[in-house]
Amino acid sequence: MQRNHPTTRLVQANLSADLAAPSLWKTNLPSAADQVQFTKTLQDNPWTQQITPPLIGLDTVPLYNDLGYSDRPDWKQRVRFYSDKIVIYPVALNPRPRLDQPKKCINNLTRGNFKGFISRGSAVTIRKRLEAWIKSVSVNKRLYQGAGKPKHSHIVFATLTLPSKQVHGDNELKRSVLMPFFQQLRRLHGVEAYFWSSEPMENDNLHFHVLFDRYIKGSALDDLWNVACNHLGYLDRYVQATGDLRPPSTKINVCPENMSLVKYVLKYVSKQPRIQYSHSSIEDQQEHPATYWEHEEIKGGLKEVEQRGLKYNLADLEPDGILYPDKVTFDGKSWWRWYKRRPVEGRSWGMSKELTKIDIYSTDVSYRVRDVRSIMEWDPTVKFIQKDHCEVWYCNTFDVLLRNDLRLLNDYQNHYLRTYKQIYFPDQLKKEEVVFVIELDQVELPDKVPKWHQQRLFSA
């Protein structure tokens, strides 16, 4: 049944009155303390000893346990506020002890075996770390302007390539070129936090996507990277081949106006190749060495495909088939060319130690969160997806909290103020208290909001 179907809206309207009562709320949990208090109240009342909890579907978390066995709930619900979505998921309060600790210790001895690309789990970790970092810098830049503007108020996203053909291993490049490059950024330009990811190009040369927290001119960035590359002789080989002393080996990427910096960065750093296995026969499925494939968008469409002389078969345009070099596929909107790539040797990404302990804002599901969720249910601009283990609400989180709950917005903003201090001023974080960034009793709300938010919220 579709969400916007008239029958669906009628059923939702009939259920809205029932779900409005806190005692009958089945899809969102109160906080853990509220659940314990509610359970103890039922136990102390002799008239409610025979009450049984209501039936709940498998896609939800029980409000409380059976009253005859325990007075503590087994689960609670957490909410995680991304910049473009709100995720509600269950968390076990008293999980069972793990029985595979010896096996886990043995697995730690093989942690050096990397897959050669960024996995989906690593992509989720990168998303949380980078969003917390970028959000903390942007919040501090917006709130503390003028004389008190912090020095770390700019995130630079750049791509670094080798001036000549790669003749060393990937680990040697990262050890002798990339790490000295970051050391010089720290010493000469005051960079403190940084992130990097590596990916092979079509010519098998390794290139890097990097982020750091200070603005640097393109010419200075070129000089630092070329000097670092010359630790292994790559600049000298380029000069001997071309006679040019300044190879164009760096590029500062500019984020489009209609895309957030986090999404723009993740589009580059979390690309996962398509892995293709070949089998000797269908019966035994004996796997040969896997091959990795990447695709390049042909922005000129079919006209550019014909100009470049790429061969394509109309019966072989589906990308799910067997891949081969220069295969052309069409997904209904865009044309793509596939090429083979090699796996990365060793680690494919890393970050400074200041970024390894930060995370985006999350909290227990309370009545405030529940009320915001009930409002989002009827908001046509919010897209909802029910998954097996969580609920995902795609929206502009700042706008939703600004319109519906300023106290949650305060907590959201204060989290990133603390995150900024955790990265750059850890000593001050222990001594100072972070104040509210938005007054709850303010009257003229649009005057307190940036202009680009005013245009989105109040222009219609």
The count of other CB atoms within 10 Å of the CB of residue 59 is 12
Distance between CA atoms of 206 and 77, rounded to whole angstroms?
A: 43
Average pLDDT over residues 161-174: 91
Clarify whether residues 248 and 280 are in a common domain.
no
**Where does the pLDDT of residue 276 fall: very low under 50, low under 70, confident under 90, or very high at 90 and above?**
confident
What pLDDT score does 319 carry?
66
The count of other CB atoms within 10 Å of the CB of residue 397 is 20
Which of the two residues, 49 and 320, has the higher pLDDT score? 320
Which of the two residues, 8 and 200, has the higher pLDDT score? 200
Domain span at residue 375 reads: 19-35+75-95+362-458
49 belongs to a structural domain: no
Clarify whether residues 234 and 144 are in a common domain.
yes
- What is the per-residue pLDDT across 349-387, written as a single tens digit (0 to 9) for each? 999 998 998 999 999 888 888 899 999 988 888 999 988
What pLDDT score does 123 carry?
87
What is the percent of the chain where pLDDT is above 90? 23
What pLDDT score does 281 carry?
45
What pLDDT score does 361 carry?
94
66 belongs to a structural domain: no
DSSP for 393-418, written as a single string: EES-HHHHHHHH-HHHHHHHHHHHHH
Lowest mean pLDDT among 75-89, 184-198, 325-339: 325-339
What pLDDT score does 282 carry?
47
Going by C-alpha positions, the residue among 33, 17, 36 that lies closest to residue 25 is 17
Clarify whether residues 260 and 132 are in a common domain.
yes
Kindly state the helix (H) or strand (E) to which residue 105 belongs, with its residue range.
Answer: helix 101-108
385 belongs to a structural domain: yes
With beta carbons less than 8 A apart as the criterion, state whether 343 and 116 touch. yes
Domain boundary among 333, 354, 375: 354
User: How confident is the prediction for the chain on average, in pLDDT?
Assistant: 75
What pLDDT score does 328 carry?
84
What pLDDT score does 53 carry?
40
Which of the two residues, 334 and 225, has the higher pLDDT score? 225
What pLDDT score does 129 carry?
93
9 belongs to a structural domain: no
Q: Has residue 66 got a pLDDT over 60?
A: no
Domain boundary among 322, 354, 386: 354
Structure tokens at 314: 């109309």
Clarify whether residues 126 and 255 are in a common domain.
yes
Residue 379's φ and ψ, nearest 5 degrees, are: -90, 115
